[in-house]
Amino acid sequence: MPSPENPPPRRSVISRGLLSLALLLAACSAPPAPANKQRPPPHVTTAVVTRRDVAVEVSAPVELRPQARAEVTPRISGHLAEVRVDRGDRVRAGETVAVLRPGELNDQQEAQRAVVRQFETSLSLAREQLERGEALPSELRTAQEQANWKSAVRQEQARLASAQAQLKAMAARVDDTVLRAPMDGVVLERRMEPGALAGPNTPVLTVGRVELLKATVEIPEKQSGKVAVGQPVRLRFDALPGEDVAGRVARLAPAFDPVTRALQVEVEVDNTEGRLRPGLSGRAWVEIERREGSATVPTTALRAVRGTSQVYLIEGDKVRRATVETGVEGDGWTEVRSGVATGAIVVTGGQDGLADGTVVRVAADVDPYSGKPRTNEARPASTAAANPHPTLTSTSTSAPTSTSTSTTTPTSTTTSTSTTTSTSTTTPRPAELDRPTDALPRPAIAAPPASEPRRATDPQQTLVITPRTGR
């Protein structure tokens, strides 16, 4: 108990009381603990099992080649004087496409012509001699002389015939210096230029017919019995992505390949428009069977699990895993032979983490790769067929009430009460709101300067504490 000489300072007592009051108010005004949050159901994309006509096809790589192809090769050796066509030019059968230098052939031909003229003159003289001898009286000519005159005529005739044959051969050699197109078509290759030495084993040009192209497809022995002449063929080439070209089976090989045990099938492709070119590589599909009304699902709905194919079916707001038997694969779809029924809803995207009985939210008609939905709302699964995607909402209310009483002096009492009510509806909510409360960024609160009065940092209540300077 303080003595009357040293009474306790009133300022110290008041300061301690005010400090206790500030701490009490700060504790009472603290925000309530956040309610327990549950992770929302995962989003999935779905599609309906549909029926379509499925074509069973045999596929094989192919390469287009011309209907006919020929090499333009000279019969004699010589240097090229000119090449009149180039690659891509159209030519007619018999058209001159290149010329060789004749060299000494022209001189040899002229010399042979002179020999022929000489034999013609000799034959003419022999015939005149025979005619004069036969005109003489019989007593003035002998039988031997008449035989000699006839023999001379026959010899000159033989010499003339031989000379004429040699001249004809010489003319043919001169004509061989001119190279002509063997068929109507287009120049596929130009292999030599003027001045080059060409010969019987060195082709100068390649000419082919490209209005009708051919390709060879190898059919396995097991499916070869279902292929016949006239069947349609579907072809797709790397140079024409996404475009199908129609063809037909033209002829079948008479025997199987002894090495591959496959049947070679020749396919003809119409190219009157000139869009296709020889040498194009791609694949060909020969239709051997057609199944009508087969169930199909998007390929993205299938999951490979331990050597089996599985899908997730939507049943109410949950999923069920089912094992299916697959068949023909198409462009983005796959035939299902068993395991699902027509009209069932299968999950096409978001299967990771799913299990039997998982509650999901469905986003219908959404591409699982691009994420671009045809409708902008994500809906949960429902059992109602008429309304397969109702809106999923949830409401939670919490009303904690806290009351605290603190007495610092016999005449000072403080009571604080706070009530908090929160309602949340997930239709839909941003991903940022699903994070824990302590993970959300909080605004930084700067400390007040030393010269300013101290304030509480609670955003809901502010308490100003000002030290007193006097009584």
Give the mean model confidence (pLDDT) for residues 197-223: 92
Give the mean model confidence (pLDDT) for residues 281-288: 90
- Looking at the chain, the whole-number percentage of residues with pLDDT higher than 90 is 33
Predicted local distance difference test score (pLDDT) of residue 30: 56
pLDDT one-digit tens code per residue, 88-112: 999 999 999 999 988 777 767 778 8
Residue 127 φ/ψ, nearest 5 degrees = -65, -40
How does residue 453 score in pLDDT terms, banded at 50, 70 and 90?
Answer: very low
Q: What is the DSSP letter of 446?
A: P
Measured at the CA of 378, the angle between CA 375 and CA 380, to 5 degrees, comes to 130
Give the mean model confidence (pLDDT) for residues 221-242: 90
Q: Quick check: 128 pLDDT over 80?
A: yes
In terms of DSSP H, where are the helices of 317-434? none
pTM here is: 0.51
Strand partners, 83: 98
Q: Quick check: 439 pLDDT over 80?
A: no
Sequence-distant (6+) residues with CB within 8 A of 409 are 17
DSSP 328-343: EE-SSEEEEEES--TT
* Alpha carbon distance 395, 164 (integer Å): 116
How does residue 235 score in pLDDT terms, banded at 50, 70 and 90?
Answer: very high
Give the mean model confidence (pLDDT) for residues 197-222: 92
Query: Residue 157 is inside which H or E element, if any?
Result: helix 143-175
Helices (H) and strands (E) in the chain, counts: 3, 25
Which of 1-10, 16-25, 105-114, 312-321 shows the lowest per-residue confidence on average (mean pLDDT)? 1-10
pLDDT one-digit tens code per residue, 376-394: 343 444 333 333 333 333 3
Strand partners, 403: 417
In 10 A of CB 210, how many CB atoms?
Answer: 21
For the chain, how long is the longest CA-to-CA vector?
A: 206
In 10 A of CB 354, how many CB atoms?
Answer: 18
256 in Cβ contact with 262 (< 8 Å): yes
Q: Quick check: 246 pLDDT over 90?
A: yes
Predicted local distance difference test score (pLDDT) of residue 282: 93
Sequence-distant (6+) residues with CB within 8 A of 217 are 58, 60, 62, 233, 264, 265, 266, 267, 284, 286
126 in Cβ contact with 100 (< 8 Å): no
Measured at the CA of 351, the angle between CA 346 and CA 354, to 5 degrees, comes to 105
How does residue 465 score in pLDDT terms, banded at 50, 70 and 90?
Answer: very low
User: CA distances (Å), 159 to each of 108, 165, 274, in order?
Assistant: 18, 10, 57
